[in-house]
Chain A
């Protein structure tokens, strides 16, 4: 039995140690906002935070997440929407929406570390795939979220 701290709540899960965190979140804990996209950490749809740092959970063994504070899309805003989520609505970012949980988690981690990222910072750090092509709006929404958060 592994003990996980997810969005501030404690969970005991009975799974193989090498089970990717993604599938524990989705199938064991039933938090389905985190998505499966590629299974090899290539697309970022499964991005969550471990102690605030972005992790591609499809390729992260659950045993390694024990002891860390795990944050998912369900927990990123607390009771209300986070600045990033708000910016995502204001810029009307999502199309199909499937990759956006991972995008929002990746961007939230970037802004926590770098409150006013440059275009180059954004291009370098946000490598998630969006098949619908929402990147132009993602770029705008990151700038807007930075403003909402009080960055530049």
Chain B
């Protein structure tokens, strides 16, 4: 695809004085708009423009508006660091605030990555297709946090905003002191002129700076001159998370608020048949019983009273279309679907089928992965106030634009009367990009018109009414040449389409039968060089709601592909790391990660009997992660995960400590799934209900984790999801090394292993 220089002229960075503070914004102008439109869109009260990134007040305090959800991934800190770096601000003077919804904050990278015709991972970003998508993203104005995109999307604009703010303040100081701007230096929030000895803080020049000409092309620092970026910084959101003052969605308190709890149709797609409101009207604190299509709510003056009453409320339900489905039956159906004529090709080189037929030593395997729930620690919740004319929402969410659209639709009020407040998120993992709680909260709040209602789901509601990571089945046929290299690789996956399911749920007008990169990501785009390759996917429609689960398609495809690479290595009689390296010609960054991993894990040193090492290498969200797992398995198949070595190349690193934290967290998220994760469906309803039967890795089962950063200089990648995919295959490969038993289905308990 032809390269296109992405012109900055569509963008504008500038400053205005608002409420005594200098506001610097980063705007995207639609055709025909005047240059200052993006910055003059002030609110009625004369507050700052909605699209301002940075505000400097007279005391020199720099406020950075972060248009992304903080769910523990350190985005508040990382984005503030980008601004502070270019501004030469004192990081201690930076305050972060959650940015309101504005078109300008649209997450271009996420939307682009999710598109079926996305350019893929090994090509340049600035192609015509990518640029076109950026336009679409802005036009749609979807502000969302997901796909490990926050820093990638903000890398340039947040720095430009900081650089522009600095340039304006320096200009103002130069004029004030009557010295050339070029002689002025800024360090740690202090502006100085060495020759004259003049100096001052940012706050001293705020007013004057606001009258400076807008700088449209700020000069960004060379990465060699970075003082903050690349060095560990204390997270700005941590102090409030250790003293109990952090406000999550469940903590929202609104004047006059009531509380709601729900009972939902257990079978997917089921509906409420009958209920007996009178049975609970006299219970303590009960305000209202609100039936709706898929369930019934009790509104009360405390959550406990609402929950107690709704559980006591007699109700019956009609079964939905999912009634005849079970998770075991679905896995069988998916496996049968592998023989469908309806596969979509996502990667094709040469003639894989011919190579496999011709091979003296073909290798075949079928792998399976189950449905999974997100189980965010903060149970799902949404607070809504609906009046005749407007709706106000308080919610921990990953997609405020979607929340706003749907609140407007469900409340049936004009768009300008919709307000969305995004709180801190007690975990997100993709679950909080959904709007099902908005529907429920608005529906319930409508029934008690004008009174705010906080709906909290119980853990049972959460586990049984999640929007799940889809189950998937994957078949491989591999051929080895006489030199022990792979000559043919055919891989067919069958699963529901996450993008398809999401679109049908949320934007049915846009739903169409089209390819979905998330189904084959981590399978079609693996770096290994095979002469003949075919990767395709059979989309299977099922009445189970599926959605984005940390690392999406990579979460199962990495297990499939990296387990099968291991099988091929053993079939070839080669060391698994040497075997991978032999297929990585021309991919030095991948090979470097693998070599470093071999070194730090002391890969070649033997382990005693009963212990084993396994390796996996996987790229997702433009970052490469390699992991080696060490396990111990005894004769009773009891498994201890002893140690995980992790090497990550995510390009430029903003806050190294956050990268390490995300590797640790991503590994444990994936390990929980590999050891325990399985949502069981019977009669169209989820059998699991709470943590005892949807178990998590706990401290006692947490392995030692050693994280190494390997920076090859490749472009900026994500960190929030990328450590999750490789852990399951590395674990399964380690168990093979320890026991000789190959795991082809997750969780490992399917093979009788006990963690």
Contacts and interface: CB of A to CB of B under 8 A. Distances in A.
Interface stretch (B51-59, B156-164, B563-571, B664-672): B664-672
B137 interface: no
Interface in B346-395: 375-379
A37 B377 contact: yes
B573 interface: no
A35 B699 contact: no
Contact of B377 (A34, A77, A98, A126): A98
A148 interface: no
Among B244, B426, B700, the one with the most A-chain Cβ atoms within 10 Å of its Cβ is B244
A130 B375 CA distance: 11
Q: Is the interface of A mostly helix, strand, loop or mixed?
A: loop
A135 interface: yes
A116 to B, nearest CB: 17
B690 A38 contact: yes
B513 interface: no
Given A39-B690, A98-B377, 6 more contacts: A23-B302, A26-B303, A33-B243, A96-B378, A97-B426, A133-B667
Contact of A131 (B73, B302, B377): B377
Interface stretch (B199-207, B234-242, B514-522): B234-242
Interface of B: 71-74, 234-235, 237-248, 250-251, 253, 259, 284, 302-305, 375-379, 424-429, 456, 458-460, 657, 661, 664-669, 690-692, 696-700, 702, 704-705
How big is the A interface, by class?
35 or more
Nearest to B657: A92
A96 B244 CA distance: 13
Nearest to B463: A38
A137 to B, nearest CB: 7
A43 interface: yes
Among B241, B458, B696, B700, the one with the most A-chain Cβ atoms within 10 Å of its Cβ is B241
Contacts of B692: 40, 42
Nearest to B661: A95
B377 A99 contact: yes
A126 B699 contact: yes
Contacts of A92: 234-235, 238, 657, 661
A89 interface: yes
Contact of B426 (A88, A96, A133): A96
Contacts of B239: 89
Contacts of A28: 302
Nearest to B723: A133
A114 B236 CA distance: 32
Given A35-B250, A36-B250, A89-B234, A96 B243 contact: no
Among A34, A77, A94, A131, the one with the most B-chain Cβ atoms within 10 Å of its Cβ is A131
A123 B700 CA distance: 4
A135 B234 contact: no
Interface string A119-152: 0001110111111111111110000000000000
Counting from the closest, the 4 A-B pairs by CB-CB distance are A33-B244, A133-B668, A95-B72, A97-B241
